[in-house]
């Protein structure tokens, strides 16, 4: 496939995903702001614990088959039918196990409300499992626009359900209803749009075709689940649901850039890059540009959230949530790394390296879980956030060492050189803003937003200009149809 055709397909996927994610982002902000004023922190904490278990049981039911459906090119309609029936059967079984486990979960956390919440949420595990194969078929066909429409419909309906039910006093059940409505609508829309047809008979041979690929993907998903959710499990147990509610808000804010930027890119990466699975050198050239682009965005977002955490919390959630800000700051410093890391799984999958993905996930999980356990043992939630943030840096290094050396057959040092300028901007911008805060505190006794904000943007612009990184952003934006301020700036310079 020609280079311009690859970029065209990626661009189409980015545009469709961007429309969904940015509309979703706006809706999330609105819903979060409304619910933060209608629900208490402990109600968010109860739902956060239940959601951790829903995610776990949903991963068990999905079994890693969806990415295998995207990757494998030799699956017949009968194979697809068999895989769909397998996913549905596993989903129903796992949902029952989740429901019967609910009393034990409630007893462990000494929270009776968790029992019914988990039992109702168990229904969603069936929806998630059954929808995985139809969605994978649509990704395989690169039907990004249809996926976007379906996700938007489900998102709007579930958001309205949550806000209306919370207004009428549904408490944490407003969040439960949001998940159930989303799952049900997604299942109906994806099943219809994919045109999947259940064939007569069932054969395990179809499962065998995807087993080797999906097995390591499934194991990686499980490791990733535990490393990403053990914080909620342990904080809920040892710090209580009230503190978990605050932590969950800080963690959710940290993830927003991933949900609005990286997750715009990742849905298109695997389906498009899988066409280059036998041409890793070509894939590498496309991918390192994306990494550098994400690194530059990550610098601005990460430090913006770090230095304006109080203002962000006040605007989004109100004054009673200000205790979130100290937790958010150390987490914010990881945003740039997480933006890039979010895309790596799709590249491992496109290269057919689910085995390597599993082993990098194993090392990452040990690092993250170790940091979280240390943080919980310290008895201080800020320490936990800080050591967690530190672990993400080492996860990034080991993940990309394996991907560049084993997957792309390129020196790791060469990959790091692509990130040298964004890293320099990160360090200098942090030092400049930190110095400004110290100066303001010395002169005025506090730091003023109306001084910080223009200085932040001025410093950012100067550093991107001095490093000439704006040129790269302008070129990347033009290639992929992304409108950036640097695009217009480059045209102006050419005219001059």
Tens of pLDDT, residues 386-408: 999 999 999 999 999 999 998 88
Domain membership flag for residue 235 = yes
Residue among 140, 137, 120 nearest 53 (CA): 120
> For residue 379, how many other CB atoms are within 10 A of its CB?
10
* Residue 218 pLDDT exceeds 80: no
Give exposure, 37-72, as e/b (b: 16+ Cβ within 10 Å).
ebbebbbbbbbbbbbbbbbbbbbbbbbbbbbbbbbb
Long-range contacts of 363-368 (CB under 8 A, 24+ apart): 363/395, 363/398, 364/223, 364/224, 364/227, 364/395, 364/398, 364/399, 365/223, 365/224, 365/226, 365/227, 367/391, 367/394, 367/395, 367/398, 368/227, 368/228, 368/230, 368/392, 368/395
Domain membership flag for residue 272 = yes
Q: Which helix (H) or strand (E) holds 143?
A: none
Q: CA–CA separation, 113 vs 44, rounded Å?
A: 12
Q: CA–CA separation, 410 vs 456, rounded Å?
A: 36
Q: CA–CA separation, 355 vs 211, rounded Å?
A: 12
For 153, residues 6+ apart whose C-beta sits below 8 A from its C-beta are: 185, 189
Domain membership flag for residue 121 = yes
Domain membership flag for residue 454 = no
Q: CA–CA separation, 191 vs 186, rounded Å?
A: 8
Task: Provide the domain limits for residue 239.
Answer: 3-418
Give the 3-state secondary structure of residue 492: helix
Q: What is the dihedral of CA 175, 154, 75, 287, to 10 degrees?
A: -90
371 or 195: which leads in pLDDT: 371
Tokens 């194993």 — which residue? Answer: 362
The answer to whether 140 and 69 are in contact (CB under 8 A) is: yes
DSSP 496: -
pLDDT range class, residue 2, cuts 50, 70, 90: very low
Mean pLDDT, rounded, for 306-325 = 86
> For residue 413, how many other CB atoms are within 10 A of its CB?
8
- The string of pLDDT tens digits covering residues 342-388 is 888 888 878 888 788 888 888 888 899 899 999 999 989 999 999 99
Q: CA–CA separation, 388 vs 374, rounded Å?
A: 9
Q: CA–CA separation, 36 vs 31, rounded Å?
A: 8
Q: CA–CA separation, 164 vs 76, rounded Å?
A: 44
Domain membership flag for residue 155 = yes
pLDDT range class, residue 25, cuts 50, 70, 90: low
Mean pLDDT of the chain: 81
Q: Where are the beta strands (DSSP E) in 59-192?
A: none
Largest separation between any pair of C-alpha atoms in the chain = 78
Q: What is the CA radius of gyration of the chain?
A: 23
Q: CA–CA separation, 131 vs 373, rounded Å?
A: 35
341 or 208: which leads in pLDDT: 341
The total number of structural domains in the chain stands at: 1
- By CB atoms closer than 10 A (0-12, 13-18, 19+), residue 210 is buried
Domain membership flag for residue 446 = no
Domain membership flag for residue 69 = yes
pLDDT range class, residue 14, cuts 50, 70, 90: low
Residue among 366, 363, 47 nearest 178 (CA): 47
> For residue 167, how many other CB atoms are within 10 A of its CB?
12
Domain membership flag for residue 462 = no
> Could you write out the three-class secondary structure of 285-344?
HHHHHHHHHHHHHHHHHHHHHHHCHHHHHHHHCCHHHCCHHHHHHHHHCCHHHHHHHHHH
Q: CA–CA separation, 66 vs 55, rounded Å?
A: 16
DSSP 274: G
Q: What is the pLDDT of residue 51?
A: 83
With a threshold of 0.85, does the pTM exceed it?
Answer: no
Q: CA–CA separation, 301 vs 333, rounded Å?
A: 9
- The string of pLDDT tens digits covering residues 451-471 is 888 999 999 999 999 998 888
> For residue 294, how many other CB atoms are within 10 A of its CB?
24
- By CB atoms closer than 10 A (0-12, 13-18, 19+), residue 20 is buried
């Amino acid at each position: 496939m020609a280079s311009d055709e690859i970029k065209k397909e990626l661009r189409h996927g980015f545009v469709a995903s961007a429309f969904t994610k940015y509309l979703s982002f706006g809706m999330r902000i609105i819903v979060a702001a409304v619910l933060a004023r209608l629900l208490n922190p402990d109600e968010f904490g109860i739902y956060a614990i239940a959601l951790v278990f829903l995610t776990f049981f949903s991963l068990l039911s999905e079994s890693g088959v969806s990415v295998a459906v995207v990757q494998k090119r030799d699956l017949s309609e009968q194979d697809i039918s068999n895989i769909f029936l397998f996913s549905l059967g596993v989903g129903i079984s796992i949902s029952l196990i989740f429901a019967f486990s609910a009393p034990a979960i409630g007893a462990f956390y000494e929270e009776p409300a968790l029992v019914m919440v988990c039992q109702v949420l168990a229904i969603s595990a069936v929806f998630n499992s059954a929808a995985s194969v139809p969605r994978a078929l649509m990704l395989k066909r690169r039907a990004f626009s249809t996926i976007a429409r379906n996700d938007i419909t489900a998102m709007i309906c579930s958001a309205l359900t949550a806000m209306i039910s919370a207004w009428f006093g549904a408490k944490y059940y407003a969040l439960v209803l949001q998940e159930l409505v989303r799952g049900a609508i997604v299942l109906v829309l994806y099943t219809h749009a994919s045109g999947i047809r259940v064939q007569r008979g069932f054969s395990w041979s179809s499962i065998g075709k995807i087993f080797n690929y999906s097995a390591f993907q499934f194991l990686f998903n499980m490791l990733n689940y535990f490393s990403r959710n053990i914080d909620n499990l342990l904080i809920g147990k040892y710090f209580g649901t009230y503190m978990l509610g605050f932590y969950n808000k800080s963690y959710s804010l940290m993830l927003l850039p991933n949900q609005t930027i990286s997750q715009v890119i990742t849905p298109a990466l695997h389906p498009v890059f899988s066409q280059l699975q036998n041409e890793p050198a070509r894939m590498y050239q496309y991918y390192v540009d994306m990494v550098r682009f994400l690194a530059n965005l990550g610098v601005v977002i990460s430090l913006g959230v770090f230095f304006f955490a109080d203002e962000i919390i006040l605007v989004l959630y109100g004054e009673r949530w200000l205790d979130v800000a100290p937790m958010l700051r150390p987490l914010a410093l990881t945003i740039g790394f997480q933006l890039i890391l979010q895309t790596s799984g799709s590249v491992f999958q496109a290269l057919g390296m689910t085995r390597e993905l599993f082993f990098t996930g194993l090392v990452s999980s040990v690092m993250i879980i170790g940091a979280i356990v240390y943080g919980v043992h310290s008895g201080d939630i800020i320490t936990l956030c800080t050591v967690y943030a530190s672990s993400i840096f080492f996860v990034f290094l080991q993940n990309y060492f394996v991907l560049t050396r084993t997957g792309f057959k390129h020196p790791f040092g060469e990959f790091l050189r692509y990130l040298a300028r964004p890293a320099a901007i990160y360090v200098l911008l942090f030092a400049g803003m930190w110095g400004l805060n110290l100066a303001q505190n010395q002169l005025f006794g506090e730091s003023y937003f109306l001084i910080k904000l223009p200085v932040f943007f001025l410093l950012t612009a100067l550093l991107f200009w001095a490093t000439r990184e704006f040129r790269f952003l302008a070129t990347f934006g033009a290639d992929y149809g992304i409108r950036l301020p640097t695009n217009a700036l480059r045209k102006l310079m050419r005219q001059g």
